[in-house]
Chains A and B, each alone.
Chain A
Amino acid sequence: MKPFYLCFALLCCVQLVRSQNVTISGYVTDRTTGESLINANIFETLEQKGTVSNVYGFYSLTLPAGQHNLQFSFVGYNKQMLSFNLQKDTVINISLKQMADMAEITVHATKSNVERTQMSLVELPTERIEKLPVLLGEPDVLKVIQLLPGVQAGTEGTSGIYVRGGGADQNLFLLDGVPVYNASHLFGFFSVFNSNAVKTVNLYKGGFPARFGGRLSSVVDIRMKEGNDQEFKGEFSVGLISSRFSFEGPINKGKTAFIVSGRRTYVDLLAQPFIQIANKKNGDVKFNAGYYFYDLNAKINHKFSDRDRLFLSMYSGKDKAYSREKESSSSGSNYSDHYDDNLGWGNLTSALRWNHVFGSKLFSNATFTYSKYKFDVESDSEYKERDYYNRDYFHYMSGINDYTAKVDFDYYPTTNHSLKFGASNTWHTFKPGVNHEKTTVDENEYQIDQDTTYGNQNIAANEFDAYVEDSWNITPRLNANIGLHFSWFNVENTNYTSFQPRLALRYLISDKLSVKASYAKMSQYIHLLSSATISLPTDLWLPTTQNVKPQNSHQWAVGAAYKHDKGYEFSVEAFYKTMDNLIEYKPGATFSGVGEGWESKIETGKGWSYGAEFLLEKKTGKTTGWLGYTLSWANRNFDNLNFGETFPAKYDRRHDVNLVLNHEFSKKFDIGLAWVYGTGNATTIGTQEYPAMLPGSYSYFPEGWITYYGGRNSYRMPSYHRLDLSMNFHKQKKRGVRTWTVALYNAYSRQNPFYLYWGSKKAVNISPNGEPYETRKPALKQVSLFPLIPSLSYTFKF
């Protein structure tokens, strides 16, 4: 690899000293809201050279001195042309105006996939997310991502994602650049990302740019809105199980803006009247139980000058389930008995970010972030009766805390090069689980007072990352993104380092057709210990240790993108990915919760996946949407699982089809449709039985039969398919726009498999004397969730 990097450095130097040029730089923003426009096009029509704005809307374009025509564009916005004679470095901040007739262009898009060097990237503006059918009135970022080729959903209804044969823990969720460890609410049915606060969502499935690291399979880069710095705007939405709101506006017009948004479910509140009625019938027993989750996002930013801007953002979200019962009697035995169980988990993230422009060619972003995930369960029971007192208290807690300091630079030395480089350091504190148990018994002469705390010590780890990447226009047709990511992980006096080269190439065959190729190595230093069957909040994030090595992956991809004049885009990608040091529980072990001795409970192995993804998109016009198809294989091999034989990954899915359509009939009415089809998930289920040979044992053993499974994940559940529909009715009101949304989840009520088990069914046998009698026969049973679920929500934007 050395000669390669040497050539790369030399070429950069040649470009730097090439000629006397001048640089135009500045920000591209939305004229109405002041929001920065990410990936807006800045194109010089005479030189035929251009660039795009970064995630903060900053751009820099170096051109020869002289006359220039500059075109600023962003899909959905009016183009803006500037002509001038350029003699020195110049700052031009441009604000673009949204098109008046949005019927022509209903979905924002940025650079076409044909032109983009980056492959395996899907951009999802929040407008697209909100137009799609929803579950229980809640638009969900991750459920939309599940509709993309190469992304498999987990079990029915959950928002977990499995990208290109990877595991659920191999996805990096970044909320404004801060990792979010548990991205789901309600056992995975909803994601934690409130669409009201989301500006853009970018999903990287491969060809990862060097600036990303830490997970093997995907990066979900979610950017929150910055806040409208021109006027106050708001939105609220009331659904069947939850309500949302967002409010944004200027604190100091054009300088300081804020946005705050929130969401809360209220099934617990709606259930209260029914619980009260039940309690009235129960006499001395008072019962209460409920569940809710909430999200709160807030962000404030201030422009000190054209060179300096400060952002402070935070997210807080929590799930809580509780159950309480109290029983007392003042007559007779005169006792009181109560228990109180609480289960809670949640994330807290915050980021302080400083953008500084050092000159027309160098943009910097310094960030301090904090991310915390905490899970705790508490149980308290107390019984009193005359001279007797008994109390049992139990508390379990686990989680992870991260502090990160990070600096990123965007450097634009010439028109043909755009460099990004930076470094970050993260201090992890893993809290694998602490238990606190307290037992108090007081009964005349018999007394117990035990107070015990046990569990694992916190594990501190340090992770350092550095990267450099160059987006290089080698020729007008050939572009490359070449980079190197370095990471160092220190835990328990053990050091791991990883050099991860990244390469992406794009060759423009014509303006409408390009071919692409990419390679990326990724390393991951944390592991998720989770239940084999479903994602739960008890899942534990644990670090790489001396015994458990970091996960690594290599992914190669090739593809082509084609753009049709009428707004259609077609892309195809083939990929091959290898992964090592994957972890799975040993047979019979399960999610730990306490994490004690977890290293001895896992097996490590390798995995590989390959396949092809096809995506036909229509981004403009009254009808928009996409048709995706994925053909893929995902396998695992562990020395000590499945007796060393290769087996399919749990979410190995041979065929996956997604059809997503949105049609705007008028400004007052539009509909959304999503249809998904997937080969059934792989599962392990008994196929045969045979007699056991077990030694004589005490009491009721041994059992007589052993179930033969024919291999791990060797059985296929029935295929999965589902149709979701939504209708949006908009009306302009005096103070804003109201929208009624009627949605049908699983419109034809398909009974999709959640899990399978062996049960029995009634049967009629004939006895030897010819008499029929009722008996039972074995039967394979399928449990399904989510039949047809209608929902209704009301949204008002002002």
Chain B
Amino acid sequence: MRLKQITTALFSVSFLFFVSCEKEIVFKADEIKPMLVVNGLVVSGDTVSVRLSKSKSMLYNSGTTLVVANAKVDLYIDGEFVETLTPVKEMVYGMETPVAIGKFKSSVIGEAGKSYRLEIVADGLNPVSCETTVPEPVEILNWDTATVRNTGAYSTSWKTQANVEFDDNGQQNNYYRVESKYFQGEELLRYMPDGTVVYTDTVEIQPQRFERVYIQNAELNDAINEADELITGAPDNRFTIFNDDSFNGKRMKLRFDLNNYSYWYYRNRASDSIADFLNRDIYLYSLSEDYYKYLNTANLHYWVDEDFFFEPVPVFSNIKGGIGIWGSASCAVFSILEGNYPLDDKVYVQSNNSGYHL
């Protein structure tokens, strides 16, 4: 990063002598026709659904999504027509009755190995089609964790190191994603009149949240980080995706870290509460190739943004006639519990606050 700072600074100083001005110019592509945007993910075991909207000009001065509610969405499984998806209505802020939000739902549950194709027609937009085949889930052979002190940090903190083993299917290209969701419980305190503080029988559970996963296998991150650390910095693998290029057909030992900045860690290590806990659900997804490409290019798209030194990165789409993604995934999951939960002699209540991010 240092080189980039120096180069940019000196480059900027040079430009100060020469910069003429900045002005607004006419955007000549304003007449471009909006496209139908299809966003949907078929997950094995979950109900099939899709969200429809339409793209808007860069000059469109609003952050609202232009939902497409009047579409006809036909679902085909393995080439056979199954059903027309039903529009979903929900309550929206400012409306007194439920309204269509551009979401269409099926009665079908996603299954690994099956192909799901959508044929969509909407007024005023080009008809589109898209197809995805749900990958087989991975079988987690083994996993273990260790909590260690985070030596890279200035203050005292801990991190959880996790290892997950699974076999990669060498017959095909495979794409993966690892995700962690956590929820934690905090035993409530009562402040006594004499100034002392005692634990109560009530444990407050905060809502489940996502947390950052740090993949430690360098070869997996390299596949994502195309840019150079020295000059531009490397993009984060923010969606924690990886492919099997470096371990095709072999047993993979995935290593990743989870930072333990949670309230639970700070308090539990300094107190004698036995009811505080931290529960993590670790999801190992197998992704369809298209969905992997979508996430990979989106990761770079946001990282590059409008950096002068880069060519912009277009985001992959597999929607014929439109834009967006129709992807699929299967997942395997395991949980890591630190602390004790549930305990028979405690009362668990849901917290009203939004909880902490890790």
Contacts and interface: CB of A to CB of B under 8 A. Distances in A.
Contacts of A775: 61
A290 to B, nearest CB: 10
Interface string A578-610: 000000011111111110110011000000000
Given A643-B316, A693-B41, A538 B3 contact: yes
A698 B212 contact: yes
A327 interface: no
Interface in A655-709: 684-699, 701, 703-704, 706-709
A706 to B, nearest CB: 5
B266 interface: no
A690 B53 contact: yes
Interface stretch (A21-29, A482-490, A556-564, A778-786): A778-786
A102 interface: no
Interface in A311-354: 321, 323, 341, 343
A778 B314 CA distance: 20
Contacts of A92: none
A593 B306 contact: no
A688 B300 contact: no
A640 B10 CA distance: 34
Interface string A732-768: 0000000000000000010101011111010100000
Contacts of A782: 22-25
Given A532-B310, A601-B228, 19 more contacts: A289-B13, A323-B9, A377-B6, A533-B308, A588-B297, A589-B228, A591-B231, A593-B3, A596-B228, A687-B58, A688-B34, A689-B56, A690-B35, A693-B294, A698-B357, A699-B357, A707-B312, A780-B58, A783-B19
B7 A538 contact: yes
A323 B6 CA distance: 9
B239 A684 contact: no
Interface of B: 2-3, 6-7, 9-11, 13-15, 17-29, 32, 34-35, 37, 39-41, 51, 53-61, 63, 65, 177, 179, 181, 209-212, 222, 226-232, 235, 238-239, 294-295, 297-298, 300-304, 306, 308-316, 323-325, 357-358
Contact of A186 (B14, B54, B226, B316): B14
Interface stretch (A230-238, A403-411, A412-420, A710-718): A710-718
A433 B230 CA distance: 11
A379 B230 CA distance: 13
Interface residues of A, number: 91
B298 A379 contact: no
A530 to B, nearest CB: 10
A751 B310 contact: no
A323 B10 contact: yes
A588 B39 contact: no
Contacts of B229: 594
24 contacts: A186-B14, A377-B3, A377-B7, A379-B2, A588-B235, A589-B227, A590-B228, A591-B232, A592-B230, A601-B227, A601-B228, A685-B312, A687-B57, A688-B35, A689-B57, A693-B39, A694-B298, A695-B177, A698-B211, A699-B357, A777-B61, A782-B24, A783-B21, A784-B23
Contacts of A600: 222, 226
A692 B298 contact: yes
A703 B7 CA distance: 29
Candidate in A586, A600, A688 with the most chain B CB atoms within 10 angstroms: A688
A481 B210 CA distance: 71
Contacts of A642: 314
Contacts of B357: 698-699
Contact of B20 (A433, A538, A785): A785
A383 interface: no
A711 to B, nearest CB: 8
Contact of A686 (B58, B181, B212): B58
Contacts of A697: 210, 212, 238-239
Contacts of A703: 302
Contact of B39 (A289, A684, A691, A707): A691
Contacts of A365: none
Given A689-B60, A777-B61, A590 B309 contact: yes
Contacts of B226: 585-589, 600-601
Interface string A709-731: 11110011010000000000000
Contacts of A704: 63
Given A289-B13, A597-B222, A708 B20 contact: no
A710 B312 CA distance: 11
Contacts of A531: 309
B309 A588 contact: no
Interface in A523-572: 531-534, 536, 538
A781 B22 contact: yes
Contact of B24 (A433, A687, A780): A780
A693 B325 contact: yes
Contacts of A701: 238
Contact of A785 (B13, B19, B25, B309): B19
A343 B25 contact: no
B58 A758 contact: yes
Given A343-B10, A692-B298, A697-B210, A756 B25 contact: yes
What are the 8 A-B residue pairs with the smallest beta carbon separation, nearest first? A588-B300, A589-B226, A693-B39, A787-B20, A698-B212, A690-B55, A532-B311, A784-B20
A642 B61 CA distance: 28
Contacts of B60: 689, 778
